[in-house]
Amino acid sequence: MKVGMLGGGQLSLMLAEAARPLDIEVVFIDPAADACAATAATQIQADYDDPAALDQLARQVDVVTYEFENVPSEAVRILSEDLDVFPAANALATAQDRLFEKNQLVALDIPVPEFRSIDSLHDLRQAVMQLGMPTVLKTRRFGYDGKGQAVIRSEQDIESAWQSIVEAPAILEAFMPFDREVSIIAVRDRQGNHQTYPLSENIHKNGILDQSYSRAEDPAFEQAEKYISKLMDELEYVGVLALELFQVGDKLYANEFAPRVHNSGHWTIEGTICSQFENHMRAVAGLLLGEVKLTGSSLMLNCIGEMPDVRNIKDLPGVAIHDYGKAAREGRKVGHITLTAESDMALGELVGKVQRELG
Ligand SMILES: Nc1ncnc2c1ncn2[C@@H]1O[C@H](COP(=O)(O)OP(=O)(O)OP(=O)(O)O)[C@@H](O)[C@H]1O
Ligand SMILES: [Mg+2]
């Protein structure tokens, strides 16, 4: 079986690596000359909306998926004429636009931070009056890793926030005084069966995910699972879906969802029986889903900007280093390190040791 992929970054790389033991080959489109998935899959180097490249891909694969939500909807439309694309165009279109996304969540009775749609400076001033401060202004489209966002803490911030997002269509959101951030990742197959991974607890630094920790028997799991199941069924979703949530007291508010494998689920490679990457490929290829049970306790540390010096930790039991082979650049996700142990206590000791070594 051959699966076509839009995007050749680290998610695509890990999907292709998970596909190999299933005897699934991956062919991907990516314009970059140094796409990191090229070490595990075949690349068609072209823009995502290049008709010749889309045609070349369509002719050699059985089904298509993607590793990021900013793929041109036109590319998905063209590919959908001859092939199944999973997750389907409706899920992609909803996740690509923060306003559609929020409206979808509201329609399913999933709580979200209060928000307003913003098309002008006038809208923004009015919305700040209604929601109070602090608030977060976010572009409706093309945001990632906290880009396209500005926090408004005082009236002086309003105009500069509007300029900083280049006056693009946006939403304004109440800033949540969250106790913690969590995400829930689930997978649904073509028959509608689904499985939900244990909750991840996430810590962000400068708007970028820094750490994710696997949470066995988390009290928020049941609520989070209800929300993601509703969303998957509503979208008739096929593949892995991730839902990011803020917890305030014992209440969960949805932040956003991603129609793809998610950075907060990278620990599932070592920490569960069947990783998010394998399960995504299984769902897309029409195979049975694998077990999402934990094999122990895990913590994932993102490597941002450049890979740290891992000489002193790489041989420790329970340490898995994932270097995506990307050039160093400020704010760029270049790799991650997963630490696994049989209990939370043993994991705590390993984390301490690794953090001392990494400094
Ligand atoms: N309304 C909010 N209240 C409090 N914190 C927020 C809010 N919105 C965003 N943040 C913080 O900024 C981070 C990034 O925001 P968000 O998930 O909306 O952006 P993104 O660019 O899509 O990020 P990513 O690609 O990392 O998921 C959140 O994980 C959270 O830490
Ligand atoms: Mg996010």
Confidence of residue 144 (pLDDT cuts 50, 70, 90): confident
Give nearest CA residue, ligand 1 atom 16. Answer: 146
pLDDT value for 255: 98
| pTM score of the predicted model | 0.97
Residue pair 131/174 in contact (Cβ under 8 Å)? The answer is yes
Residues forming a β-bridge with 118: 170
Distance CA 27, CA 186 (A): 24
For residue 208, the CA-to-ligand 2 centroid distance in Å is 8
In the reported structure, the alpha carbon of residue 280 is separated from the centroid of ligand 2 by a whole-number distance in angstroms of: 20
- Which ligand places an atom closest to the C-alpha of 202? 1
The pLDDT score that the predictor gives to residue 146 is 84
- Which of 3.30.300.30, 3.40.50.300, 3.40.50.20, 1.10.3720.10 would CATH assign to domain 2-85? 3.40.50.20
Cα 46 to Cα 43: distance, rounded to the nearest angstrom: 9
Atom of ligand 1 nearest to the CA of 208: 26
Q: What is the pLDDT of residues 65-97, one digit of tens each?
A: 999 999 998 999 999 999 999 999 999 999 999
Pairing state between β 63-66 and 2-6:
parallel
The whole-number pLDDT of residue 143 equals: 87
The overall average pLDDT reported for the chain is 97
Ligand 1 pocket at CB < 6 A: 113, 136, 138, 143-147, 173, 175-176, 181, 204, 207, 209, 244, 255-256
Pick the ligand that lies closest to the CA of residue 182.
1
Q: Does domain 180-358 have CATH number 2.40.50.140?
A: no
Q: What is the pLDDT of residues 253-266, one digit of tens each?
A: 999 999 999 999 99
Between vectors from CA 239 to CA 144 and to CA 191, what angle results, nearest 5°?
A: 155
pLDDT above 90 coverage of the chain, percent: 97
Residue closest by Cα to atom 28 of ligand 1: 207
Asked if 228 contacts 186 with a C-beta cutoff of 8 angstroms, the reply is yes
Three-class SS state of 60: helix
| Ligand that lies nearest to the alpha carbon of residue 98, given by its number in the listed order | 1
Residue 317 preceded by cis peptide, ω within 30 = no
Where does the chain hold its CATH 3.30.470.20 domain(s)? 180-358
Model pLDDT, residue 359: 83
- Burial (CB < 10 A; 0-12, 13-18, 19+), residue 90, is middle
pLDDT given for residue 277 in this prediction = 99
Which pLDDT value is given to residue 7? 98
How far does residue 209's CA lie from ligand 2's centre (Å)?
8
pLDDT score recorded for residue 234: 98
Mean pLDDT of 286-291: 98
Which numbered atom of ligand 1 lies nearest the CA of 138?
18
- Taking the CA of residue 147 as centre, how many other CA atoms within 13 Å lie in the half-sphere pointing to its CB? 7
Helix H segments across the chain? 10-19, 51-60, 73-80, 89-96, 98-107, 121-131, 157-164, 221-234, 268-271, 276-285, 344-358
182, 211 contact by CB (below 8 A): no
pLDDT at 357 over 90: yes
Position 145 scores a pLDDT of 84
**Rounded distance from Cα 255 to ligand 2 centre (Å):** 7
Residue among 255, 300, 332 to mutate when testing ligand 1 (max atoms within 8 A of CB): 255
CATH 3.30.1490.20 domain residues, the chain: 114-174
Mean pLDDT of all residues in 139-145: 91
User: Beta-carbon neighbour count of residue 33 at 10 Å?
Assistant: 8
Question: How many angstroms does the Cα of residue 141 sit away from the middle of ligand 2?
Answer: 13
- Classify 114-174 by CATH class: alpha beta
CA of 52 to the centre of ligand 2 (A): 33
Is the pLDDT reported for residue 321 higher than 90?
A: yes
Angle at 242 between CA 237 and CA 248, to 5 degrees: 130
Question: Token match 């190999």: residue?
Answer: 20
- Model pLDDT for residues 159-214, shown as the tens digit of each residue: 999 999 999 999 999 999 999 999 999 999 999 999 999 999 999 998 899 999 99
- Pick the residue whose CA is nearest to atom 19 on ligand 1: 146
Atom 23 in ligand 1: which residue has the minimum CA distance?
145
Residue 86: its pLDDT value, please?
A: 98
Instruction: Locate CATH 3.40.50.20 in the chain.
Output: 2-85
